[in-house]
Structure 1
Amino acid sequence: MTATVGATGQGARARAETPMARFAAEFARSRTAMLGLLLMVLVVGSALLAPLIAPQDPYDLAQLDILDGMLAPLAEGGSGATHWLGTDDQGRDMLSGILYGLRTSLLVGVSSTVFGLALGLLVGLSAAYFGGWVDTVIMRIVDIQLSFPAILVALILLALLGKGIDKVIIALTTVQWAYYARTVRGTALVERRKEYIEAATCLALSHGRIVRRHLLPNCLPPLIVVATVQVAHAIALEATLSFLGVGVPVTQPSLGMLIASGYQYMLSGEYWISVFPGIALLVTIVAINLVGDRMRDVLNPRLSR
């Protein structure tokens, strides 16, 4: 009798768990994923709090002293302040530059992912739901875009649009939407053939209601995983574009711009100007990828290693 009551209680607790609670419990079983989540929280928190915790605003000319240029890590500047990660050739504190650079890199990565996700979601659902010539035309456009390297498409767009954070976001959105469209279409095609969609169609429900109430919720889980990984990809792509000199302008620093500004001094021994922003970029991308990989394994256990 006691065993029966205990089993009943466990079953009730299992039924009482929300999907979010089950997801969190499964996610927390991976120490690697929790480390990635901790690093991601640290990176995002540092970026958001940069104006409060950074020793200086590295792009406020009134706070810079050219005499403090090229100071090594842990060196003291003319004002007596310690520059924990050194300074660059303009006297900018590298720790402050990294914190502010994280803000720009995350802004570009997250914004381009959100816009690309919204566009890809709309296009992919339309292709799967309507099918026929609509699906054919959309998927041929997706195939054409995916046949070109993302960096090449972004370079061409930025050559036409010019520099600026908004221009980089537009370029990366244009590069990313096709990934989401293909992912959404594949998932929506499976759902489109199921009985509940056919029943909703027989009930003469509107196309918008069927897509919004039935197709969209079932397409979101795999799309969230793809979007998480694409944030890291967008950040890396923005850093590459800024390193090449076609991304964000020097007045709006990013990690890629910081790495580029110190590249010419690597052979002369001033390694910290490029190395420390490079480490920050690496930690950010690895943390996001660790979280994204674990989310994929939890949402689709068949892919778990």
Structure 2
Amino acid sequence: MSATTATPAPAKEETPLRRFLSEFAASKIALGGFIVFTGIVLLAVFAPWIAPQDPYDLGTIDIMDGRLEPGAVGASGITHLLGTDDQGRDMLSAILYGLRISLTVGAGSALIAGLVGASLGMLAAYAGGRTDSVIMRVVDLQLSFPTILAALMILAFLGKGILNVVIALVIVEWAYYARTVRGSALVERRREYIEAAQCLALPTRRILFRHLLPNCLPPLIVVGTIQVARAIALEATLSFLGLGVPITEPSLGLLIANGYEYMLSGKYWISFYPGVALLITIVSINLMGDHLRDVLNPRLKK
């Protein structure tokens, strides 16, 4: 009798998504940033149920509780773990609600700017000629102008408000996406599948968004991640300067500005804790973005 040898089971094919997740999870720094950012998002989403106080409800705010130290008990019986601001609002509650505004403005502006910039970048690379020249000259002009100064000028014209801040950030951010996507689209523009789609007389819109855009997504995802952190920092700067969100809907930047004048008198917590929350949020996003760049661009791998 001949001995029968067991045939090994075929190896399970690794999909691109599975490979991406395994490479991303291999970095402890990136995974830590993702966990921290996920926790921040969950805190912001469930703020109405987690926060000890609604900082927007004037009926629950007592001006006599203004500038209480961390751990003090207010007149309403609430223990203010992070103290209160000059208006008597619980700092922990204000930070949780402020995170909602900062994340909404940052993610919303980055998404809209990404859609506008990616569309114009692909159009410039695909059309070429005068269209490419006009779009890229506008991009060069936009990128040569100081971002914060441009945003200040736009908000000085539009006025305060969350929607106006998003519009200002979209105007100053779209050029970064346009230049990045155009660089990738110029390479993909000469591929065989684009020429085949043109030979089939497919509509330009279908070629751009069904064939060209998916192959430009890796650099677009990296830029989008970094721009979310950049938009949050810009919004905080604009609010700190008094041209961002209104005082009735404070973001982290406005909370920092509210306590700035009390720093020298020892009331550090009014600005310190919102600043720490802002720092942790931006750093966690940047850690994810840096590792995404390494994973999605094989040339940057060690």
| TM category, shorter | over 0.9
- Pick aligned residue for 1:85 from 75, 82, 88: 82
Structure 2, unmatched stretches of 5+, are: none
1:19-67 per-residue CA deviation (whole Å, 9 max, x = no partner) reads 2221111100000011100110111000000001000011211001111
- Pick aligned residue for 1:275 from 254, 258, 272: 272
SS at match of 1:295: helix
1:137-185 per-residue CA deviation (whole Å, 9 max, x = no partner) reads 0000000000011101100000000000000000000011000000110
1:75-109 per-residue CA deviation (whole Å, 9 max, x = no partner) reads 11112221000001111000000000000000100
Residues 133, 5 of structure 1: alpha-carbon distance in 2 compared, 3 angstrom cutoff: farther
Query: Where in structure 2 are the equivalents of 1:38-77 lying within 5 Å?
Result: 38-77=35-74
SS at match of 1:213: helix
Q: What is aligned with 1:109? A: 106
Corresponding position: 1:175 with 2:176? no
SS at match of 2:230: helix
The structural deviation recorded for 1:266 is: 0.2
Alpha-carbon separation, structure 1, partners of 2:272 and 2:51? 19
The structural deviation recorded for 1:199 is: 2.0
Q: What is aligned with 1:265? A: 262
Residues 283, 4 of structure 1: alpha-carbon distance in 2 compared, 3 angstrom cutoff: farther
Comparing 270-279 and 189-198, the one that deviates more: 189-198
- Pick aligned residue for 1:143 from 140, 145, 163: 140
TM-score relative to the length of structure 1: 0.95
Alpha-carbon separation, structure 2, partners of 1:208 and 1:171? 27
Corresponding position: 1:243 with 2:237? no
Corresponding position: 1:231 with 2:232? no
SS at match of 1:55: coil
TM-score relative to the length of structure 2: 0.96
Alpha-carbon separation, structure 1, partners of 2:103 and 2:270? 20
- Pick aligned residue for 2:212 from 211, 215, 229: 215
Alpha-carbon separation, structure 1, partners of 2:204 and 2:169? 30
The structural deviation recorded for 1:5 is: 4.4
Q: What is aligned with 1:192? A: 189
The structural deviation recorded for 1:203 is: 2.4
Corresponding position: 1:165 with 2:162? yes
Corresponding position: 1:35 with 2:32? yes
SS at match of 1:9: coil
Q: What is aligned with 2:124? A: 127
The structural deviation recorded for 1:198 is: 1.4
Residues 59, 2 of structure 1: alpha-carbon distance in 2 compared, 3 angstrom cutoff: farther
Alpha-carbon separation, structure 1, partners of 2:264 and 2:271? 11
Aligned letter for 2:164? K
The structural deviation recorded for 1:213 is: 2.2
Alpha-carbon separation, structure 1, partners of 2:176 and 2:56? 36
Residues 207, 254 of structure 1: alpha-carbon distance in 2 compared, 3 angstrom cutoff: same
Aligned letter for 1:9? P
Runs of 4+ in 1 over 3 A off after TM superposition: 1-6
Q: What is aligned with 2:152? A: 155
Q: What is aligned with 1:9? A: 10
For these two proteins, the number of residue pairs brought into alignment is 300
Q: What is aligned with 2:91? A: 94
Alpha-carbon separation, structure 2, partners of 1:115 and 1:213? 19
The sequence identity of aligned pairs, in percent, is: 65
SS at match of 2:216: helix
Residues 123, 269 of structure 1: alpha-carbon distance in 2 compared, 3 angstrom cutoff: same
Residues 240, 5 of structure 1: alpha-carbon distance in 2 compared, 3 angstrom cutoff: farther
Corresponding position: 1:301 with 2:298? yes
Corresponding position: 1:26 with 2:26? no
- Pick aligned residue for 1:205 from 202, 206, 216: 202
Aligned letter for 2:162? I
The structural deviation recorded for 1:2 is: 11
Alpha-carbon separation, structure 2, partners of 1:145 and 1:107? 24
SS at match of 2:243: coil
- Pick aligned residue for 1:252 from 249, 252, 260: 249
Residues 90, 29 of structure 1: alpha-carbon distance in 2 compared, 3 angstrom cutoff: same
Alpha-carbon separation, structure 2, partners of 1:49 and 1:236? 23
